[in-house]
Amino acid sequence: MSIRMIKQTATIVALVLSCSMTMAQTPAPSPKKPAPQVRVSQRPSAPQVVTIVHRLNGLKMFRMLLRSEQQVQAVTSLESGFNLMDDVHTNVIAGLAMDDGETIAAWLPEANLEFAPPGFPASFGESQFPDFKFRLSDPPDVSVIGPDGKQLPAKYVGFDATTGLSILLLDEKSSLPANAVRDEPVGVGENVLLFGPEPVANTHSLLDNNLYVRIASIEGRIQNVLPAPTGEVARLRVSAPRLSQANIGGVALNEAGETVGIVDGLLGSEATVLPTASIRRAAQRVLKRRSSVPRAWLGVRGEAVAALQLSQFLNHGWAAERAVTLAGDHRGILLTSIAPGSPAAQAALRAGDVILKVDDKEIQNADDFTWYLDQAGAATSVRFTVARPNQIDVEALNVKLSGILDPAAGFGFRNSFPLTKGLSLLEHGAETIALRPVVASQLGTTAGLLVVYVEPATPAATAGLQAGDVIQLIDSKPIAALNRTTSLKLPMTLQVMRKKQKLTVTLSPPAKK
Amino acid sequence: MKDKRCEPVRRELEELMLNEDFSSATGEHLKTCSDCRDFQRQQTRLRQIVGSLGTVTAPADFDFRLRARLAADSEAPGFRFWSVTVKGLATAAVLVVFGVGAVVVWQRTHEETPAVAVTPPQVTDPIRGHESSFSLDNPELTHVTTQTVAENASSPRKIHRSPIANRSKRPVSTIDFSSERASVVSNTRPVNNSAVFPIETSLQSVRVSLDDGRGKARTISFPTVSFGSQRVLMTANHFTPKGAW
């Protein structure tokens, strides 16, 4: 026996002896003195804060890739064992249980993946899809976990594009305490707590798939209350040490435990908080419609006059004298570009125009303009008072606003229009991504176009095309023989691989009403 | 032929960065030792090759996984280096300790059982709907299940997940997480009586390689979990870009 082994044996014997001695010296509990009830010290509680778990499978991951800011045309390799229907990513975020005891509002960052691609149908014109209603193609995989850690059965109702909130309804109304949300006045300097789920350290087991989570809070202070032009609170700004993206979606409570709002963004070292009144209105909009509610879309880009240099007016055709007058007024929005086919284009708004009023309400800054359009809502008519560089008098223009779930896409700010990326069936209601042969064989299919999303009430949906299908032939031509310039007009016959079976799907033009 | 000087010289050569000079003592040694010169040439060549490979982006959840692995490693000290004899002795010793301990505890608890009024932390499994609790006055630490899976099952899951074996045997209820701090959200404090609950996630981040249509390929890793608005990729659900309506 080596010296090392002797040392180890001695160590073990010493340990055994010390353990035995400790155990022998441990006094038995006193039979006469009952043990006191252990209570956890009272800390802020948040019965209105729930946890939302949003899971994304492989198909939705491909949607995310297609809709990202990066150019994506084909999948060239995947990890072995990848399954389209398996979970790929899980987002964990706070939710606010509203005072009716059944409505949940949450700022799900990937909610857009549950809906049509950005800009759809705005990029094609609503007339092409008269039945387009911002519906869900399939229910999102969303779970609600109550403050006590129990799962609460719930369903996703819709997305409010104005606030970015997702609205869910619990199956049982009494699952959460009612009247937990109250609209309380808040002021600068008031302390708030930002509640949200966080991982419990060192509990991500390597043996199972579980990550342990709890609701925790960070302390913050209201630094600014941003008023809307109507006088109510539009946003709050809250400072807190070391804010991060993980805090977005968190629920802000005051020291009395009353709901202040939901964190919907970060601006430098401060969090912007959507106030309770705005959350309540978003929930009402979605619940009334029982589906997603688009944001009002005009189709313009512009800048507040108050923030402009004189040269910017001159560049848009304004005479110097009138430009000086306009700039001195500090009112209105100078339009710098108009999206083709947009409501603004249809109303003959042009770059260089200055919108001074919306429904006779003056616009002081960009936030005012946003507020008035949001209050008007999608599919409504508004009356603009417009100053134009080539005419002396202001002009009144009636504009019917359109609706869009992702306003950023209405202008093609992202490279997310699949028509520009390659062969696409998006204009017929199917979002696709090309699979290379290696990847296709991994997924148990052949090379072609993988359907990642089918919009309800479109030719693709009507024909029975499904997400997960792989299109091999279009009008008897292999996908590889087609390119982005190929015209894909209806009617069209597709050969599709679905669960290792070949099917023929025929897309027909939508019936005219 | 290696001498005593070779060891520190080679250690220094191994630790050198590309384009970094070695010490004068090492330089002197290299003049006289052909083995170390060969070693130095090999090291330099190796660094040049590695340096020419470019950088590789770590997966988004690399930090999380690394810390999880380190934590797991730190909990498993080097028992693998022990011989079979020592392992056997250690096992026997542990059994003896537990045996003696069990006898002592049994004797003391059966003298007179006191009323124990400790509120144990509860851990609820939201997926299975189990509310697990342990009663300290039960010598066998009975696992009490108050609700069945079927009773609490919400809408049926459409996605397929690999089943987790023996989930009910996981000793989740024996761990008190309330004093733990999280790494993602700093400066936090737990909510009063807030439950710690498990969320089923995959263990591996998924990597996918893509072609942008212009001949450029890139690989993207999807982290398994994100909290709040930690972005996987820049996509939607952020507000209208400034200046667009």
Q: What is the CATH number of the domain that holds A359?
A: 2.30.42.10
Contact (CB, 8 A) for A429 and A451: no
Q: Do both B106 and B121 map to the same domain?
A: no
pLDDT at A12: 67
Q: Is the pLDDT of residue B97 over 90?
A: no
Q: Do both B69 and B47 map to the same domain?
A: no
Question: A131 — contact with chain B (CB < 8 Å)?
Answer: no
Task: Please state, as a whole number, how many other Cβ atoms lie within 10 Å of the Cβ of residue B58.
Answer: 11
Confidence bin at B145 (pLDDT 50/70/90)? very low
CA distance B105 to chain A (A): 9
CA distance B213 to chain A (A): 5
**Residues 332-391, chain A, touching B (beta carbon < 8 A):** 336, 366, 369-370, 373
Q: Is B164 close to A208, i.e. CB distance below 8 A?
A: yes
CA distance B209 to chain A (A): 5
Rounded Cα gap, residues A483 and A194, in angstroms: 51
B229 domain-assigned: no
B214 domain-assigned: no
Closest partner residue to A43 among B97, B189, B214, by Cβ? B189
Nearest to A327 by CA among A305, A311, A304: A305
Q: Is the pLDDT of residue B116 over 50?
A: no
Q: Do both A129 and A171 map to the same domain?
A: yes
pLDDT at B245: 84
Q: Do both A438 and A385 map to the same domain?
A: no
Enumerate the residues of chain A whose CB falls inside 8 A of the CB of residue B89. Answer: 9, 12
A475 domain-assigned: yes
* Dihedral sign for Cα atoms in the order A488, A467, B215, A445: negative
Q: Do both A59 and A145 map to the same domain?
A: yes
A19 domain-assigned: no
Enumerate the residues of chain B whose CB falls inside 8 A of the CB of residue A298. Answer: 245
pLDDT by 10s per residue, chain A, length 513:
556 666 676 666 666 555 555 444 444 433 333 333 333 334 456 788 999 999 988 888 888 888 776 677 788 888 777 888 888 888 999 999 988 889 999 999 888 888 887 766 665 555 556 556 677 778 899 999 988 888 899 999 999 988 889 999 998 876 666 555 555 567 888 999 999 998 886 655 555 667 888 888 899 999 998 888 888 888 899 999 888 888 999 999 888 888 889 998 888 789 999 998 899 999 999 999 888 888 888 888 899 998 888 888 888 888 888 888 888 888 999 999 888 878 899 899 999 999 999 998 999 888 889 999 988 988 889 999 999 998 888 999 999 988 877 765 555 544 334 333 456 788 888 888 888 888 888 887 888 889 999 988 888 999 999 999 999 888 888 887 776 666 678 889 999 999 888 899 999 887 765
Q: Is B191 close to A111, i.e. CB distance below 8 A?
A: no
With residue A4 as reference, give the H or E element that holds it: helix A3-25
How confident is the model over B2-30, as a mean pLDDT? 80
CA distance B17 to chain A (A): 34
> What are the helix (H) ranges across B82-183?
84-111, 149-152
Q: Is A110 close to B164, i.e. CB distance below 8 A?
A: no
pLDDT at B128: 34
Task: Please state, as a whole number, how many other Cβ atoms lie within 10 Å of the Cβ of residue B178.
Answer: 13
The amino acid that residue B105 corresponds to is: V
Q: Do both A398 and A430 map to the same domain?
A: no
Contact (CB, 8 A) for A103 and A176: no
Closest partner residue to B235 among A64, A88, A139, by Cβ? A64
**Residues 195-254, chain A, touching B (beta carbon < 8 A):** 195-204, 206, 208-219, 240-242, 244-250
Q: Do both B106 and B126 map to the same domain?
A: no
Q: Is B201 close to A210, i.e. CB distance below 8 A?
A: yes
Could you tell me which residues come within 8 angstroms of residue A243 by beta carbon, excluding any fewer than 6 positions away?
Answer: A218, A266, A269, A270, A271
Question: B66 — contact with chain A (CB < 8 Å)?
Answer: no
pLDDT at A24: 46
Question: B107 — contact with chain A (CB < 8 Å)?
Answer: no
pLDDT at B182: 26
B140 domain-assigned: yes
Q: Is B119 close to A40, i.e. CB distance below 8 A?
A: yes
Q: Do both A432 and A479 map to the same domain?
A: yes
Q: Do both A125 and A152 map to the same domain?
A: yes
Rounded Cα gap, residues A85 and B184, in angstroms: 29
CA distance A42 to chain B (A): 6
CA distance A239 to chain B (A): 13
Q: Do both B89 and B133 map to the same domain?
A: no
Q: Is B180 close to A204, i.e. CB distance below 8 A?
A: no
Q: Do both A382 and A451 map to the same domain?
A: no
| φ and ψ of A193, to 5 deg | -115, 130
Q: B201-243, pLDDT tens digit by residue? A: 765 667 888 877 677 778 888 788 888 887 666 544 444 457 7
Look at residues A143, A175, A207 and tell me which one is the last residue of a structural domain. A175
Q: Is the pLDDT of residue B108 over 60?
A: no
Q: Do both A86 and A158 map to the same domain?
A: yes
pLDDT at B98: 82
Residue B142's domain spans which residues? 115-154+166-176
Closest partner residue to B237 among A164, A300, A303, by Cβ? A164
> Chain B: residue nearest A116 by CA?
B236
Enumerate the residues of chain A whose CB falls inside 8 A of the CB of residue B176. Answer: none
Question: B211 — contact with chain A (CB < 8 Å)?
Answer: yes
Q: Is B222 close to A91, i.e. CB distance below 8 A?
A: no
pLDDT at A273: 92
Q: Is A89 close to B108, i.e. CB distance below 8 A?
A: no
Proportion of chain B above pLDDT 70, given as a percent: 40
Q: Do both B66 and B107 map to the same domain?
A: yes
Enumerate the residues of chain B whose CB falls inside 8 A of the CB of residue A301. Answer: 243-245
Residue A381's domain spans which residues? 295-404
Q: B1-15 burial, b for 16+ CB within 10 Å, e for fewer?
A: eeeeeeeebbeebee
Closest partner residue to A246 among B122, B184, B219, by Cβ? B184
B185 domain-assigned: no
Look at residues A120, A143, A175 and tell me which one is the last residue of a structural domain. A175
Look at residues A229, A255, A282 and tell me which one is the last residue of a structural domain. A282
> Chain A: residue nearest B108 by CA?
A28
A413 domain-assigned: no
> What is the CATH number for A114?
2.40.10
Tokens of A11: 């160590």
CA distance A91 to chain B (A): 5
> Chain B: residue nearest A75 by CA?
B210
Question: A491 — contact with chain B (CB < 8 Å)?
Answer: no
Q: Is A35 close to B72, i.e. CB distance below 8 A?
A: no
Question: B56 — contact with chain A (CB < 8 Å)?
Answer: no
A222 domain-assigned: yes
B201 domain-assigned: no
Q: Do both B66 and B105 map to the same domain?
A: yes
pLDDT at A251: 93
Closest partner residue to B186 among A210, A213, A242, by Cβ? A242
A348 CB-side CA count, 13 A: 7
Rounded Cα gap, residues A498 and A451, in angstroms: 10
pLDDT at A404: 79
Residue A332 CA, chain-centre distance (Å), reads 30
Domain count along chain B:
3
Q: A226-257 burial, b for 16+ CB within 10 Å, e for fewer?
A: eebbeeebbbbbbebeebbbbbbbbbbbbeee
Tokens of B100: 């003696």
Q: Is B124 close to A149, i.e. CB distance below 8 A?
A: yes
Q: Do both B98 and B122 map to the same domain?
A: no
Q: Is B193 close to A211, i.e. CB distance below 8 A?
A: no
Q: Is A79 close to B204, i.e. CB distance below 8 A?
A: yes
> What is the CATH number for A248?
2.40.10.10
CA distance A439 to chain B (A): 10
Q: Is B199 close to A65, i.e. CB distance below 8 A?
A: no
Q: B34-61, pLDDT tens digit by residue? A: 999 998 888 888 877 776 655 556 665 6
Domain count along chain A:
4
Q: Give whole-number Cα distances, A111 to A182, A199, B237, in Å.
A: 26, 22, 7
Enumerate the residues of chain A whose CB falls inside 8 A of the CB of residue B223. Answer: 89
Contact (CB, 8 A) for B198 and A90: no
Question: B72 — contact with chain A (CB < 8 Å)?
Answer: yes
Q: Do both A365 and A470 map to the same domain?
A: no
